[in-house]
Amino acid sequence: MSIKFIDGSVTAPKGFTASGLHCGIRKNKSKRDLALIYCEKPCAAAAVYTTNLVKSAPILVTQNNLKNGTAQAVICNSGNANTCNSDGIEVAERTCELLAKELNIDPKDIIVASTGVIGQKLPLEPIANTIPELVSRLSANGATDAADAIMTTDTMKKEFAVEIEIDGKPIRIGGIAKGSGMIHPNMATMLCFVTTDAAISSDMLRIAVKEAADKSFNMVSVDGDTSTNDTLSVMASALAGNKEITAENDDYNIFVEALTELCRKLARKMAKDGEGATKLLVAKVSGAKSENDARGVAKTVVCSSLLKAAMFGADANWGRVLCAIGYSGCDVDINKVDVSFKSKTGRVDVCKNGAGIDFSEETAKNVLVEDEIDIIIELNDGVGTAEAYGCDLTYEYVRINGDYRT
């Protein structure tokens, strides 16, 4: 199967338009803070959400709206998470009603999301006043504005699109995402909105979204904090004209592989854009007794604050990798573990069979000063593999989060 990355994002698939603008939630008038994605027809839709017991009001409203498996629009604000507010559900529901009236669609066919500061009331007036203009700006070229409008402490937009072939038809999948801090998904403050023109039932879409999330966003950690607002949603317009995917067959496998690859691309970019980060860390685990063990080891390694600090300092302190593996809770024979560090500069092997080996500190430093580091872990005990994505821990992370609210 060929997965081709193409220009664009959520408006690359047939039937979708998008827009983004400043409505007034954020004080900085040059920063867009309200995004809209719209499809010309109702779509099959599915989503996965944060596992945090504290969930934002928009998540609760979206969960209710998606019970019928259909959606036609996504609206998302940044600057305010609409979480832990007495009127949060009312504001989220009213947002859906106002947008539905402007688009002439059912309010239940709207995915609503928010991101930003927790515990501050979200004013409805700026959103209500701006919805008509937001709708009027919808266009096939509006995806980048939407990607910008959902950002908070992100320093770069996160948007990609892929094209595959199913049933002889070209199928496109596009996505925008935000996330920089408070990232430790099961699900991460992570939001991702995906569109596709594939014909796929909502039941199959639910399975596909969960499978893709488990191999991408749920393998990211910036700081170990699981957000209250995390949402990954997918809308499928069926306008590509393929035979509808209604079972876990070959067409489904092609679709979910492409969706997973798109989500991995967004997840990597999210990790690299971690708050204050200077480096992307990718833990690549092979030889595990099971895929679950591989995933557990990879995720634990990128979560280690000590390792993240060592990577910031370009210090090949491989003992911190072994230490993290040791407390991962996974079925690992530590005496079989090999560890290497790799970047575009080269590779340095630092551990063999659970013990240190001689290596050049100068070579290691040259490898670790790069902005993308692979931590290669061979467990030599099976065929399970996994990747996890993280970043280094820097002084800047503390500065950003020391005064984030004030």
Which letter does DSSP use for residue 139 in this model?
Answer: B
Cα 70 to Cα 41, 350, 390, distances in angstroms: 10, 51, 33
Relative orientation angle of helices 88-103 and 125-136, to the nearest 10 degrees: 30
Cα–Cα distance for residue pair 9/180, rounded to 1 Å: 19
Cα–Cα distance for residue pair 270/264, rounded to 1 Å: 10
Burial readout 185-194 (b: 16 or more C-beta within 10 A, e: otherwise):
bbbbbbbbbb
| Phi and psi based region of residue 75 (left: phi greater than 0; alpha: psi -120 to 50; beta: remaining) | beta
Residue 406, amino acid: T
The tokens for 236 are 């499928």
User: Is residue 226 annotated as a catalytic residue, yes or no?
Assistant: no
H/E stretch holding 144 reads helix 143-149
Which one is catalytic: 189, 196, 231, 300? 189
Cα–Cα distance for residue pair 3/5, rounded to 1 Å: 7
Cα–Cα distance for residue pair 77/281, rounded to 1 Å: 30
The tokens for 3 are 């997965």
Q: Are 270 and 177 in contact (CB under 8 A)?
A: yes
| Phi and psi based region of residue 346 (left: phi greater than 0; alpha: psi -120 to 50; beta: remaining) | left
Cα–Cα distance for residue pair 69/13, rounded to 1 Å: 19
Q: Are 49 and 156 in contact (CB under 8 A)?
A: no
Which letter does DSSP use for residue 7 in this model?
Answer: S
Cα–Cα distance for residue pair 294/391, rounded to 1 Å: 19
Relative orientation angle of helices 305-312 and 291-303, to the nearest 10 degrees: 60
Closest residue by Cα to residue 151 from 179, 182, 111: 179
Per this entry, what is the length of the chain? 406
CA angle 94–95–101, rounded 5-degree value: 90
List the catalytic residues. Answer: 189
